[in-house]
């Protein structure tokens, strides 16, 4: 922040003449303005443009009663000896004027180190001790002491000197130097230094720093400073690190520039050498002579030239020349290479075509084999379907014939009278099975055979006819009906009688669930 404090206008002067004293100064730079701004004894005012900034000094205000009461309570808590010691030692505190040095950046980016940390800590302790003693005296007496009067007088003289010096200096001239400023908040028993005699400006573009230290022996816990303290870290180590980093960076940049220059010169020499070989009538045959001449020229230019070639560069150039010689020799055999490449390409083409033909032939054979297999499968499926159809037709035909034979034999069996002279025979009994009568035996009459017979009869009959057919068959093979008719008594052979009885009972048992299903 910059502000130029000039002589205020009459209106502002008349308004504050009863309470404030105007400070008649010339141009004030930003840091001096901050010093006045942070000092509670001064009031800084910037009116609207084009008015000039005004700096006035306030009249001393009486200390509040609350402050005095808190100080009295603190004084009661403390011992009388400690208070007397602090009052005795406070006037003898000597100020160490510190040299505040700006971290000014030059053209190369270097920085100047700040003041040592030990001096700043000593000054902080003195500031705290002075503030404490000043607050203690104010709270005890309630008015200014002789010490405060002397301090105000000294401050007034110092500010008059500052005003006289600032009229002949400007803010821009102070930026180019490393100025010194006087800390106006600290006590000093010695007479002030005459800054105008040695030619050094008393003010500079730096700000006042106040450091708070907790381990200072003169700091009291009830002390509350009016200004806000700022803690600024020591930057000497950081400055040294930055300087070392910049030096390393500059060294790396210098090395990089030298390396790039060497690469550029090497490429230039190679291009010139290649360009000179391009104009030769037979560059491939005279490569040895060119290489020899260039090597000799390099050897002659080495000790006499502006940049002599070292052993590594000479070795590298020799390796480059050897590579060029080998390339020239290989260039002679280019026709042979091309011929061999053409032969190899033709052979590869022929092999590829043969491979494609074989692959196509194999594909056609596989396709024909698959087609033949599909045809055979279709023929087999058709034959199987035909055989199944024939078998089914034959089965139906056999079933119809068995049903007709069963009906015919049933009529004869129902009307016959069996005696010992006319015994029943296995062939004359209407067995409800689908087997051929030529191959039918007693063992073929079982439960499943009877069920298959009536299932076939159900497919070929109407439901009402099938119901009547099942009821008659159930009565026909009922054991009680066979005993009533004396069918088995007409057989003299005991073995045959037993076999027929078992077969008849099997048919009767198989017909019972079918008859129940039909009756529903």
Residue by residue, pLDDT tens for the chain (520 residues) are 444 444 444 444 444 443 445 555 456 677 888 888 888 888 887 877 777 778 888 876 655 444 444 445 555 454 444 444 444 444 444 444 444 444 434 434 434 344 444 455 555 556 655 655 555 544 445 455 677 888 888 888 888 877 776 655 444 444 444 444 444 444 444 444 443 334 444 444 444 444 444 444 444 444 454 444 444 455 688 888 888 999 999 999 998 988 888 888 888 888 877 766 654 444 444 444 444 444 444 444 444 444 455 788 888 888 888 888 888 887 888 888 888 889 999 999 999 999 999 999 999 999 999 999 999 999 999 999 999 999 888 888 989 999 999 999 999 998 888 888 888 888 889 999 988 888 888 888 999 999 999 999 999 999 999 999 999 999 999 999 988 888 888 888 889 889 999 999 999 999 999 999 998 7
Q: What was the pLDDT predicted at 126?
A: 60
- What is the C-alpha radius of gyration for the chain, rounded to an integer number of angstroms? 67
Question: 475 phi and psi, to 5 degrees?
Answer: -70, -35
Q: What was the pLDDT predicted at 7?
A: 41
C-alpha dihedral (301, 303, 304, 306), degrees to nearest 10? 90
SS3 per-residue string spanning 384-448: HHHHHHHHHHHHHHHHHHHHHHHHHHHHHHHHCCCCCCCCCCCCCCCCCCCCCCCCCCHHHCCHH
Q: What was the pLDDT predicted at 375?
A: 94
Q: What was the pLDDT predicted at 285?
A: 42
Tokens of 456: 């076939």
Between strands 42-45 and 27-28, the pairing is: unpaired
Distance (Å, whole) CA 500 – CA 484:
16
Q: Helix 463-476 vs helix 494-519: angle between axes, to the nearest 10 degrees?
A: 150
Long-range residue pairs from 396-401, CB within 8 A, at least 24 positions apart, any chain: 396/456, 396/460, 398/434, 398/436, 399/434, 399/453, 399/456, 399/457, 399/459, 399/460, 400/460
Q: What was the pLDDT predicted at 121?
A: 56
- Whether this prediction's pTM lies above 0.75 is answered by no
CB 203 within 8 Å of CB 164: no
According to DSSP, the residues that pair with 45 across neighbouring strands are 54
Distance (Å, whole) CA 90 – CA 140:
15
Q: What was the pLDDT predicted at 98?
A: 46
């Amino acid at each position: 922040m910059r502000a130029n404090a000039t002589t205020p206008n009459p209106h502002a002067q008349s308004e504050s003449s009863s309470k404030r004293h105007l400070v008649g100064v010339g141009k004030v730079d930003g840091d001096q303005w901050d010093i006045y701004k942070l000092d509670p004894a001064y009031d800084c005012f910037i009116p609207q443009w084009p008015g000039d900034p005004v700096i006035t000094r306030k009249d001393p205000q009486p200390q509040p009663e609350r402050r005095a009461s808190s100080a009295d309570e603190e004084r009661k808590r403390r011992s009388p000896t400690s208070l007397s010691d602090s009052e005795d030692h406070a006037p003898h505190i000597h100020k160490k004027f510190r040299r505040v040095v700006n971290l000014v950046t030059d053209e190369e980016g270097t920085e100047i180190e700040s003041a040592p940390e030990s001096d700043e800590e000593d000054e902080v302790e003195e500031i705290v001790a002075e503030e404490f003693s000043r607050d203690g005296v104010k709270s005890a007496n309630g008015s200014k002491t002789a010490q405060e009067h002397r301090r105000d007088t000294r401050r007034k003289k110092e500010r008059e000197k500052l005003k006289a010096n600032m009229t002949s200096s400007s803010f821009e001239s102070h930026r180019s130097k490393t100025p010194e400023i006087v800390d106006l908040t600290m006590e000093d028993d010695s007479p002030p230094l005459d800054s105008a005699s040695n030619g050094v400006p008393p003010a500079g573009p730096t700000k006042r720093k106040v450091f708070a230290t907790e381990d200072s022996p003169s700091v009291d816990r009830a002390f509350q400073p009016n200004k806000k303290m700022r803690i600024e870290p020591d930057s000497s180590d950081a400055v040294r690190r930055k300087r070392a980093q910049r030096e390393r960076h500059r060294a790396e940049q210098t090395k990089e520039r030298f390396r790039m220059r060497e690469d550029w010169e090497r490429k230039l020499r190679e291009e010139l050498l290649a360009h000179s070989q391009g104009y030769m009538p037979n560059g491939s045959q005279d490569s040895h002579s060119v290489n020899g001449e260039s090597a000799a020229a390099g050897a002659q230019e080495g000790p006499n030239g502006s940049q002599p070639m070292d052993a590594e560069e000479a070795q590298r150039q020799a390796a480059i020349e050897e590579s060029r010689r080998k390339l020239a020799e290989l260039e002679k055999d280019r026709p042979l290479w091309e011929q061999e490449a053409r032969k190899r390409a033709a052979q590869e083409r022929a092999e590829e075509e043969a491979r494609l033909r074989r692959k196509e032939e194999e594909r056609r054979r596989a396709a024909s084999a698959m087609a033949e297999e599909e045809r055979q499968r279709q023929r087999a499926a058709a034959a199987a379907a035909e055989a199944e159809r024939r078998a089914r037709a034959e089965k139906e035909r056999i079933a119809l014939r068995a049903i007709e034979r069963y009906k015919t034999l049933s009529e004869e069996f129902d009307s016959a009278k069996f005696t010992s002279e006319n015994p029943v025979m296995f062939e004359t009994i209407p067995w409800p099975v689908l087997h051929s009568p030529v191959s039918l035996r007693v063992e073929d009459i079982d439960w499943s055979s009877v069920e298959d017979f009536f299932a076939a009869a159900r497919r070929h009959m109407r439901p009402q006819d099938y119901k009547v057919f099942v009821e008659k068959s159930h009565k026909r093979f009922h054991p009680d009906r066979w005993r009533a008719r004396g069918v088995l008594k007409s057989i003299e052979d005991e073995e045959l009688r037993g076999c027929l009885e078992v077969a008849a009972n099997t048919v009767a048992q198989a017909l019972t669930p079918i008859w129940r299903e039909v009756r529903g």
